[in-house]
Structure 1
Amino acid sequence: MTSKPLSSHAGTTTTAGRRRRVPMAALVCAVLGVVVPSATVPAVAAPAARPAAAADTTGDRLPGLDPQALQHALSSAPDRVTGVLARVSGPAGHWTGTYGTADIETGAPVPVDGRFRLGSVTKIFIATVLLQLAAEDRVDLDQPVQRYLPDVLPGNYPPIPVRTLLNFTSGLPELTPDDLPTTPEGIVEHRFDNHPFSELVAKAVQHERPFTEPGRTQVYGATGYYVAAMLVENLTGHTYQQEITTRILQPLHLRDTTAPRTGTTIPGPHSHGYIAVPRPDGGPRLVDITEQNPGAGGMISTTADLDRFLTALFRGRLLPPAEQAELFDVPDVPYLGGTADDPGQGRAYYAAGLMRVTLPNSVTVWGKTGTTFGYTDGMFATRDLRRRLVYSFNPTTGGGNDLTLVTRILSAAFAP
């Protein structure tokens, strides 16, 4: 399959209480910078120049919805994405928009109700289930993982409290490019391979730990959530996908969201995912990788379902008060490799799965980003749910957050 120019199918619907238009030059100036300490760090917007505490209400700081800024953000990366989809909801305005194509062969437009792979957004579903188990006294967040999974971590490890798995302070090492294929050719060849959590954790713990004392430093990673999913399965006797389905998807009637264990396809309307593979002559060709082993982070959803999930989560429909507080309890510890330019200004900015970002206009949002081959997505909301954003796009770079595009979308929604 060869790369071809994309037809720019753009669709927009908007309702907002108050609207203002921002000149294009001002919009460009409003785009926020980002820092990439490593390939595993999620896309985030840079914070305000001064430290800002999380706000429960946005008050008058939340600007009017700007459809022009939003549509411009969606269409700002035609050279590295094939399709983009976004939804803004809440009392402060509604907007949906698309850009690009769902299929480069047919030129079909991106479906507004399209499904997409969640990648690491799956983490907040796992965190919610584990917090529910804590509320049921089936796991103690202060007890070490080794108490529940005695044969998973090396014997020379210190006690790793369960809570540290959720807030990224466990100090567990991460997989490296030597552990799994990372080149475009390798990704295409091995996209149907199955890697159980036990295998991924066993590979990861062969590497040096990033820090030695759990709970004293934060750094984003995946290994802690592999162990958290294993813990869910050990405590319940069911797969983590089954627990997510019965505890979250069914009660909230998220009918377009699935947590497949082995299925390789995406049901219902969806945009295709692609990866650019170098040709012998040096030029790229786009290979369709829509079908792949779901593996870790293999959930599939829509913008509408994620909006419903985020709303229910923030309103406390899924967790009692004590466990609900864990979602927004950012530990007061350094962020490994953090600088004054990142969301925590050198300090932690993750709670139990959710990340906290304060924008230059002092609006604080909470959410999660995710990515897998051919799909990048995210969901963010103000704590009071006055404005919520869910987006998905199809990068051709083989996975990994497109930091610039994510920042533009986030900025356009909350700080145009």
Structure 2
Amino acid sequence: MTTKPSSLAALACAVLTAVTQGTAVPAVAAPIARPAAAVFHTGNDSTGSDRTGDRLPDLDPQVLQQALSSAPDRVTGVLARISGPDGHWTGTYGTADITTGAPVPADGRFRLGSVTKTFIATVVLQLAAEDRVDLDQPVQRYLPDILPDSYPPIPVRTLLNFTSSLPELTSDDLPTTPDGIVQHRFDDHPLAELVAKAVRHERPFTEPGSLQVYGATGYYVAAMLVENVTGHTYQQEITTRILQPLHLRDTTAPETDITIPGPHSHGYIAVPRPDGGTQLADITEQNPGAGGMISTTADLDHFLTALFRGRLLPPTEQAELFDVPDVPYLGGTDNDPGHGRAYYAAGLMRATLPNGVTVWGKTGSTFGYTDGMFTTRDLRRRLVYSFNPTTGGGNDRALVNRILSAAFAGPTDH
């Protein structure tokens, strides 16, 4: 089914969470100009996937590079990687460090934010495959003292597909102003604390499973479930179940380390000055928090490929990744990816682009870093991107729109 062009823009902004929301501030001066680096070639590779449907539009390196460089006043650096049988391309734009002017490293690490949710969902589904978690049972069975007694049974599956009805954190719960973000970026917020703050608010709807709305609280609870069932932190389970078996050596799931190991671009936020202008504050180092994984475009591409090929989940649990509930999306419109209906499954979202190409993936954002990974179901084209916004957490709708369109819809859709 072909969607309206505006659905692509809605896809770009569909991932804001209460914890990683930032407050927009006036645009700052563009970073030091650096020549963009790009590598481009077409040809087949051995993905082992079924190639179904028509070939995707040819990659246009000029259009791709223009997409990466289309927001010089709002980001300091961008990198993207496209892989698959229908072409390869790697590009960067901007600077990794505004002080030295160092170029963005194509193999640079970046913070994942809510892309961590896909890893958490995978671990929960693995536990389901091991008969250690029943997706149809209420989460209260596994975490009896976490949710208020007044809550109805919340099936585990609804945590993963955003139909749990759990409330979200608000700007009153955590700092969201630029000054507050800088001042409190090293604060630690345990999962139990985040959930306890969230459940003080009113639930968005009453019947679990009846509506879908994106949020973070369900995944805080899912991570706590992993920890209660396994006796290990969810970061440890992600490491032993996913990162080590797939040899994702450039991907980490830190619990307390505030640094980013290896090559990386710095993250910044524009902080207001007394004279009405702004200055960039370096927030690269920050408490990893609940979405604190770190990775590279190559590792995320490897993870996405393994996940879709069934290397991490047996068929029954694999199907959960693509099982979008047939329910309304709360507050949804005809212009969003689901046309008013749900568009998230367990840890993945689905969107059909203006040219009719359907992609699956996940986006994420934390202060100073925004990223995403998307692929066609048959893996014939895969995109992973990251950029460094200066306006706090959240997506830059126009930039994500340009990158996704350039990667999957072709130059005629710009």
The residue that corresponds to 2:283 in the other structure is 289
1:87 and 2:81 equivalent?
A: yes
Alignment of 1:84-233 (within 5 A): 84-233=78-227
Q: Deviations over 1:89-138 (max 9, x none)?
A: 00100000000000000000000000000000000000000000000000
Question: How far 1:403 moved relative to its partner?
Answer: 1.2
Q: Residue 6 of structure 1 is aligned with which of 16, 32, 36? A: 32
Distance 2:37 2:217 in 1: 39
Unpaired runs of 5+ residues, structure 2, are 1-27, 45-49
Distance 2:214 2:108 in 1: 29
Distance 1:271 1:127 in 2: 28
1:368 and 2:362 equivalent?
A: yes
The residue that corresponds to 1:26 in the other structure is none
Question: How far 1:61 moved relative to its partner?
Answer: 5.0
Report if the CA contact (8 A) 2:31-2:76 is conserved. no
* 2:310 partner letter: G
Q: List structure 1 segments (4+ residues) > 3 angstroms apart after TM superposition.
A: 2-5
Q: Residue 16 of structure 1 is aligned with which of 42, 55, 71? A: 42
Distance 2:75 2:334 in 1: 30
Question: How far 1:58 moved relative to its partner?
Answer: 4.8
The residue that corresponds to 1:35 in the other structure is none
Question: How far 1:5 moved relative to its partner?
Answer: 4.0
Q: Deviations over 1:308-362 (max 9, x none)?
A: 0000000000000000000000000000000000000000000001000101111
* 1:226 partner letter: Y
Residue 347 to residue 4, structure 1, CA distance change in 2 (3 Å): closer
Report if the CA contact (8 A) 1:274-1:374 is conserved. yes
Q: Residue 275 of structure 1 is aligned with which of 269, 272, 276? A: 269
Distance 2:213 2:388 in 1: 26
Instruction: Name the SS of the counterpart of 1:87 in structure 2.
Output: strand
The residue that corresponds to 2:243 in the other structure is 249
Aligned CA RMSD, in angstroms, stands at 1.2
Question: How far 1:371 moved relative to its partner?
Answer: 0.2
Aligned length: 378
Instruction: Name the SS of the counterpart of 2:375 in structure 1.
Output: strand
Distance 2:35 2:209 in 1: 47
Q: Normalized against structure 2, the TM-score is what?
A: 0.90
1:330 and 2:356 equivalent?
A: no
- Identity between Structure 1 and Structure 2 (%): 85
* 2:99 partner letter: E
Instruction: Name the SS of the counterpart of 1:309 in structure 2.
Output: helix
Residue 5 to residue 137, structure 1, CA distance change in 2 (3 Å): closer
The residue that corresponds to 2:305 in the other structure is 311
Question: How far 1:17 moved relative to its partner?
Answer: 3.9
Report if the CA contact (8 A) 1:111-1:271 is conserved. yes
Instruction: Name the SS of the counterpart of 1:209 in structure 2.
Output: coil
Instruction: Name the SS of the counterpart of 2:289 in structure 1.
Output: coil
Instruction: Name the SS of the counterpart of 1:390 in structure 2.
Output: strand
Distance 2:244 2:30 in 1: 41
Report if the CA contact (8 A) 2:81-2:384 is conserved. yes
1:264 and 2:258 equivalent?
A: yes
Instruction: Name the SS of the counterpart of 2:219 in structure 1.
Output: helix
Distance 1:379 1:110 in 2: 19
* 2:39 partner letter: T
Q: Normalized against structure 1, the TM-score is what?
A: 0.90
Residue 390 to residue 4, structure 1, CA distance change in 2 (3 Å): closer
Distance 2:217 2:58 in 1: 40
Question: How far 1:3 moved relative to its partner?
Answer: 5.7
Q: Deviations over 1:352-375 (max 9, x none)?
A: 010001011111000000000000
